[in-house]
Amino acid sequence: MDTVRNYKILDCTLRDGGYYTNWDFNKELVHTYFKSFNELPVDYLEIGYRSSPMKEYLGEYFYCPIYVLQEAKSLSNKKLVIILNEKDVRPEHVKDLLEPCKDLIDMVRIALDPEYLGRALRLAEEIKKLGFEVGFNVMYMSKWKQYGDFLNQIKEVDAVADYFYMVDSYGGVYPQDVKEVINLVKERTKCKIGFHGHNNMELALINSLTALEHGADIIDATVTGMGRGAGNLKTELLLTALNASQGLKTDFNALSAVVDVFERLQQDHGWGTNLPYMVSGANSLPQKDVMEWVTRRFYSFNSIIRALYNQKEKVQDNQKLPLFSPAKHYSKVIIIGGGPNANLHKTAIKEFVRNLEPDTCIIHASSKNAANYEDIQVDQYFCLVGNEGHRLENVFKNLVNFKGQCVLPPYPRKMGTYIPEALVGKSFELSNIDFTNTLKDSHSALALQTALQLNAKEIFLVGYDGYQEKAITQLEKSLSDENEFLFTAFRKHSSIALSSLTPTNYKNLPVTSVYSYLE
Amino acid sequence: MDTVRNYKILDCTLRDGGYYTNWDFNKELVHTYFKSFNELPVDYLEIGYRSSPMKEYLGEYFYCPIYVLQEAKSLSNKKLVIILNEKDVRPEHVKDLLEPCKDLIDMVRIALDPEYLGRALRLAEEIKKLGFEVGFNVMYMSKWKQYGDFLNQIKEVDAVADYFYMVDSYGGVYPQDVKEVINLVKERTKCKIGFHGHNNMELALINSLTALEHGADIIDATVTGMGRGAGNLKTELLLTALNASQGLKTDFNALSAVVDVFERLQQDHGWGTNLPYMVSGANSLPQKDVMEWVTRRFYSFNSIIRALYNQKEKVQDNQKLPLFSPAKHYSKVIIIGGGPNANLHKTAIKEFVRNLEPDTCIIHASSKNAANYEDIQVDQYFCLVGNEGHRLENVFKNLVNFKGQCVLPPYPRKMGTYIPEALVGKSFELSNIDFTNTLKDSHSALALQTALQLNAKEIFLVGYDGYQEKAITQLEKSLSDENEFLFTAFRKHSSIALSSLTPTNYKNLPVTSVYSYLE
């Protein structure tokens, strides 16, 4: 396409983007992807992993069965690549995993922790025997200087690798660092050098261009930057920059066609950088947790950033609280969630509560509706998980006269602890969440466990509206799935009656009407 | 807050973000903005423009009336800044515009084209007399080397300016360019130097850090990068970077609070870079058009990029077509839009069309529903505006047997022209759009004008569903407003009956039912 270019470009959108879609992509998108790249100045397409069976659902492009590779081969005029996770593959697996790909795949890459370069070298030997090009994608380049053994061993890659990649795993390196590390590598190996940049600090482009300037031979990128966490160098940005600065021949019709389909997908999954990713990048903190926190919606950036700083300072948690050991018990407990129905039906719900007094109390799973119930004379408990401390400050203008008690998850809290000053003497932590091993830090888990501690015989949920299947977003879907899971776990664990007093879309939640209880 | 810092930071979110909201912001957001910045290591807040009355609606922060400045002053502990557009303000206006701000505002900036530095110097003298700090925001830094007079005159700013800013108007400069231009400036003036970076190429951070490294004294940024076109350096990115690398003391609670409210606003307005902005940045093309094209939805990235390349190559349009002068006339014309109702009711609509044959034809305003009508024996016309050429290729697998005619807007077409090869002999352009002076390049304008040319006496619209008020996005709202405008303009211009045969939310469109016409 362009003869003067002395470097290669590898697009790994399907492979790295799979972190957001569980490695499933619809056929139409895949066709557009291959068809568009046939017209673009890119040399390699990395389409996925090959892997032995794992114990969780992972889709088509995580396993890349042969029919997938055959289809890719038939659609594409590029060299095709797959990647292996070094930690999951031993040399004895290589033949089974890779022999079937022999005429379909051109390069096999190995993603590795620098600590295991030795193991990776042996793996690479086996791969090389099958005739593939081999790439080493070595993570954590910002910490390589601390790995003396690794640095000493780099020279051994010459014998087995075609490309030796520096991976900016945290997305926190600067052009100056790229230059330094590339020189460090060049002193040790004659292997061609690659760079895989993450975009936490919006430095992926300048780092990649700096790598090229200092002799890198291949650059990774993905369409719209789709990739784990904050994502990668954007293919369209790299091509546009090289087109304008070096005349790299680029078909912008093809480029915009493929960008278009991934931008639509991005609206559902929302990859790209944001404040939590910036903080983790700038401070070389792992992104895995951040990605989970960002994609679940009940942590504010604030809580996430607090958690990151706790990690950075190696503080597990900054506050140990007195245990929640309520003197009072109530046979009927109302749990109020964040749904609009808790507001819509509040008059009836308050009437219902008054009829049960004093043998009842309210637990606010979310503080969203708390102000609607401020005026009712009944004991009230507030679950302080995620961002609720701040939300409480917003909901109640003045916390000085706050009459309730706050309940927090067991110590240590991964997300750190924020308690408004006025509530310090009124806040307690649970010793444990009994009825579930997962999702222990969710609002619903905390509220249900609090009800158990209060010795509830019957629990009424209010404002657990759920979501209508049709209009549901990814985030709402995952929150809804989590609650369904917790309801099931709770009912398996306990014989306490659990029902919703207001309309709900949850399937595991029996419904009665609040109005049926009123005279 | 931090004593060692030898540079200043200016946040101009409200001023530059106003391009997306017409300079109106809700009170709650403004409060969060000032409250959060009180805790952040930022020195100046630029809150808007001051301006004489303009002939279009521009909101609160474009005029910054005194009560707005007073409120800002009461909420903020920072130095406050406003900016003037040099092209709109003469020295004799300064007293009226600025004297009332004397105790409220600390700095007045002037946004200027380097060509008019002389005029700006005289303006600055007047501003300085009132006791304000003065900043020069000089645009187009990537082209300064071509402005010899400007370079010679820079030394004169010493007398009147406190800050002399280099503005990367196109968002296309690289760190190397920043270094070069800053040295160019330093050779000519002792004035403190500022840098205002745009983020088209995701280079705003590295360019700003490079500016600081080479002696810049002040950096502009905005929360979430909110600002005209692709936007600016993100305040949260700058602070996170400086916090991690230099220990700049940053309250991440306050930072995430303000990021949070602007991220929510961003969901409605969608600022930030994308392929069209990258292309305009990389090639130093003006962003004003791009912003308009990107925020209206009926241009694909593809068309926008073609238009940008036409601009770059100074091609007005690449194709002059034969004029549309249809031999046949039809008294009843059906215009088919892109709404789902054109598919839902297609059986009835086709029956309706068959009953009218041969005195009728179909005009496809959008090709979206065209495949549904491929099998009906009636003359069909296709409006090729924006992306429709490509869409047509996707809708009809094989265009070789295409029987219709294509109609394009009058020459020259700002967005360029794309006609699928098979349709070249079947494509014609209108000589003019008669009934409206604006929105001439919209699907509906083209379809209605085509109906006029075909001598229609009665026009039936199909699949002009409009949008439900409740769920409408900004983009749908603007498309819907445009259509309402065109219907009104058309009915003012012509006595031809215009009605919708399928359900519609448009208010200016009389509805009849397609079923009422069938036996």
- The CATH classification number of A8-282 equals 3.20.20.70
Mention every residue, 6+ apart, whose C-beta is less than 8 A from residue B470.
none
A to B CB pairs, distance under 8 Å: 106
- What angle in degrees, to the nearest 10, is found between the helix axes of B252-269 and B13-21? 20
Q: Sheet of A497-500: strands edge to edge?
A: A427-429, A405-408, A379-383, A360-364, A332-336, A458-462, A497-500
Instruction: State what percent of residues in chain A have pLDDT above 70.
Output: 93
Q: Measured between CB atoms, which of B255, B275, B301 is closest to A275?
A: B255
pLDDT value of residue B462 = 94
Q: Measured between CB atoms, which of B203, B241, B259 is closest to A282?
A: B241
Residue A496 phi, psi dihedral angles, 5° rounding: -65, 135
Greatest CA separation found in chain B?
86
pLDDT value of residue B293 = 74
What are the chain A neighbours of B204 within 8 Å (beta carbons)?
202
Structure confidence by residue, pLDDT tens digits, A115-155:
999 999 999 999 999 999 999 999 999 999 989 999 999 99
Structure confidence by residue, pLDDT tens digits, A21-70:
999 999 999 999 999 999 999 999 999 999 988 877 889 999 999 999 99
What are the chain A neighbours of B263 within 8 Å (beta carbons)?
274
Residue of A nearest to B233 (CA): A202
Cα–Cα dist A118/A493, whole Å: 48
Rg (CA), chain A: 27
Identity of the highest mean pLDDT range in A279-288, A454-463, A484-493: A454-463
Q: What is the dihedral of CA A465, A471, A473, A474, to 10 degrees?
A: 90
| DSSP assignments along A106-124, one per residue | SEEEEEE-GGGHHHHHHHH
pLDDT value of residue B1 = 45
pLDDT value of residue A1 = 45
Cα–Cα dist A459/A489, whole Å: 15
Residue of B nearest to A171 (CA): B241
Q: Measured between CB atoms, which of B204, B256, B301 is closest to A305?
A: B256
pLDDT value of residue A313 = 66
Say yes or no for a CB contact (<8 Å) between A255 and B240: no
Average model confidence (pLDDT) across chain A: 90
pLDDT value of residue A197 = 97
What is the SS3 assignment for A337-400? CCCCHHHHCHHHHHHHHHHHCCCEEEEECCCCCHHHHCCCCCEEEEECCCCHHHHHHHHCCCCC
Structure confidence by residue, pLDDT tens digits, A66-95:
999 999 999 999 999 999 999 999 999 999
Instruction: State what percent of residues in chain A have pLDDT above 90.
Output: 65
Say yes or no for a CB contact (<8 Å) between A240 and B302: no
Say yes or no for a CB contact (<8 Å) between A205 and B202: yes
Cα–Cα dist A127/A83, whole Å: 11
Does residue B412 have a cis bond before it (omega within 30 degrees)? yes
Q: Measured between CB atoms, which of B202, B206, B263 is closest to A175?
A: B206
pLDDT of A378 strictly over 60: yes
CA A437 to chain centre: 20
pLDDT value of residue B289 = 75
The residue-averaged pLDDT of A199-215 equals 98
What are the chain B neighbours of A234 within 8 Å (beta carbons)?
202
Does residue A114 have a cis bond before it (omega within 30 degrees)? no
Residue of A nearest to B309 (CA): A252
Q: Classify the phi-psi angles of A454: left when phi > 0, otherwise alpha if psi is within -120 to 50, otherwise beta.
A: alpha
Residue with tokens 């430095």: A203
pLDDT of B314 strictly over 70: no
Cα–Cα dist A69/A82, whole Å: 10
Q: Measured between CB atoms, which of A174, A256, A306 is closest to B275?
A: A256
Q: How far is B253 from chain A (nearest CA, A)?
A: 6
Cα–Cα dist A155/A189, whole Å: 5
Does residue A503 have a cis bond before it (omega within 30 degrees)? no
Say yes or no for a CB contact (<8 Å) between B282 and A172: no
pLDDT of A193 strictly over 80: yes
CB A144 within 8 A of CB A184: yes
The residue-averaged pLDDT of B212-224 equals 98
What are the domain boundaries of chain A?
8-282, 332-517
Cα–Cα dist B437/A297, whole Å: 47
Tokens read off for A28? 């139409």
Residue of B nearest to A391 (CA): B257
What are the chain A neighbours of B173 within 8 Å (beta carbons)?
none
Model confidence at B335, in pLDDT bands (50, 70, 90)? very high
Q: Sheet of B379-383: strands edge to edge?
A: B427-429, B405-408, B379-383, B360-364, B332-336, B458-462, B497-500
Model confidence at A297, in pLDDT bands (50, 70, 90)? low
pLDDT value of residue B143 = 93
- Which residues of B touch chain A, with CB atoms under 8 Å apart? 172, 174-175, 199, 201-206, 234, 236-237, 240-241, 243-245, 252-253, 255-257, 259-260, 263, 274-275, 278-279, 282-283, 300-302, 305-306, 309, 390
The residue-averaged pLDDT of B392-415 equals 86
Residue of A nearest to B280 (CA): A240
Tokens read off for A333? 């407990």
Interface-testing mutation among A271, A279, A318, with chain B (most B C-beta atoms within 10 A): A279
Residue with tokens 């600065």: A245
The residue ranking higher by pLDDT, B81 or B508, is B81
CB B460 within 8 A of CB B332: yes
What are the chain A neighbours of B252 within 8 Å (beta carbons)?
275, 279, 302, 305-306, 309
Say yes or no for a CB contact (<8 Å) between B252 and A201: no
For residue A197, which of A187, A189, A186, A205 has the smallest C-alpha distance?
A205
Say yes or no for a CB contact (<8 Å) between B274 and A257: no
Residue with tokens 């296709």: B382
What sign results for the dihedral spanned by CA atoms A205, A206, A212, A216? negative
Residue type, A160: V
Query: B259-273 burial by CB neighbour count: b if 16+ within 10 A, else e?
Result: bbbbbebbeeeebbb
| DSSP assignments along A473-519, one per residue | -HHHHHHHHHHHHHHHHHHHH---EEEESS----SSS-B--GGGG--
CB B19 within 8 A of CB B227: yes
pLDDT value of residue B141 = 96
Say yes or no for a CB contact (<8 Å) between B243 and A302: no
Cα–Cα dist B291/B154, whole Å: 31
pLDDT value of residue B472 = 57
What are the chain B neighbours of A279 within 8 Å (beta carbons)?
240, 244, 252
Burial zone of B476 (CB within 10 Å; 0-12 exposed, 13-18 middle, 19+ buried):
middle
∠ CA B385-B391-B395, nearest 5°, is 135
Mention every residue, 6+ apart, whose C-beta is less than 8 A from residue A489.
A435, A436
∠ CA B278-B279-B282, nearest 5°, is 80
Say yes or no for a CB contact (<8 Å) between B205 and A205: no
Give the least confident one: A376-380, B300-304, B354-358: B300-304
Q: Measured between CB atoms, which of B205, B283, B301 is closest to A201?
A: B205
Say yes or no for a CB contact (<8 Å) between B236 and A300: no
CA B51 to chain centre: 21
pLDDT of B305 strictly over 80: no
Structure confidence by residue, pLDDT tens digits, B436-483:
887 777 889 999 999 999 999 999 999 999 877 665 555 566 678 888
Model confidence at A292, in pLDDT bands (50, 70, 90)? confident
DSSP β-bridge partners for residue A164 = A136, A193
Q: Measured between CB atoms, which of B201, B240, B305 is closest to A241?
A: B201
Say yes or no for a CB contact (<8 Å) between A302 and B257: yes
Q: Measured between CB atoms, which of B201, B283, B305 is closest to A256?
A: B305
Mention every residue, 6+ apart, whose C-beta is less than 8 A from residue B37.
B11, B45, B76, B78, B254, B258
Cα–Cα dist A256/B293, whole Å: 15
Q: What is the dihedral of CA A116, A121, A123, A124, to 10 degrees?
A: 140
pLDDT of A415 strictly over 50: yes
Structure confidence by residue, pLDDT tens digits, B157-183:
999 999 999 999 999 999 999 999 999
CB B182 within 8 A of CB B166: yes
For residue B448, which of B503, B488, B505 has the smallest C-alpha distance?
B488
Cα–Cα dist B111/B92, whole Å: 17
For residue B80, which of B101, B104, B97 has the smallest C-alpha distance?
B104
CB A367 within 8 A of CB A298: no
Cα–Cα dist B495/B457, whole Å: 8
Structure confidence by residue, pLDDT tens digits, B93-130:
999 999 999 999 999 999 999 999 999 999 999 999 99
Give the least confident one: A231-245, B210-224, B387-401: B387-401
pLDDT value of residue A192 = 98
pLDDT value of residue B290 = 80
What are the chain B neighbours of A282 within 8 Å (beta carbons)?
240-241, 243-245
Q: Measured between CB atoms, which of B199, B259, B274 is closest to A275?
A: B259
Cα–Cα dist B234/B199, whole Å: 9
What are the chain A neighbours of B231 within 8 Å (beta carbons)?
none
Cα–Cα dist A491/A487, whole Å: 6
Residue B201 phi, psi dihedral angles, 5° rounding: -105, 15
Residue with tokens 């795993």: A169
Average model confidence (pLDDT) across chain B: 90
Neighbours of A220 (CB within 10 A): 28
Rg (CA), chain B: 27
For residue A428, which of A303, A317, A319, A310 has the smallest C-alpha distance?
A319
pLDDT value of residue A319 = 80
3-state secondary structure of A336: strand
The residue-averaged pLDDT of B358-381 equals 93
pLDDT of A471 strictly over 60: no
Residue of A nearest to B209 (CA): A174
pLDDT of A479 strictly over 80: no
Say yes or no for a CB contact (<8 Å) between B240 and A279: yes
Mention every residue, 6+ apart, whose C-beta is less than 8 A from residue B30.
B14, B71, B75
∠ CA B177-B183-B187, nearest 5°, is 150
Query: A453-465 burial by CB neighbour count: b if 16+ within 10 A, else e?
Result: bbebebbbbbbbb
Structure confidence by residue, pLDDT tens digits, B245-272:
998 988 888 898 899 899 989 988 889 9
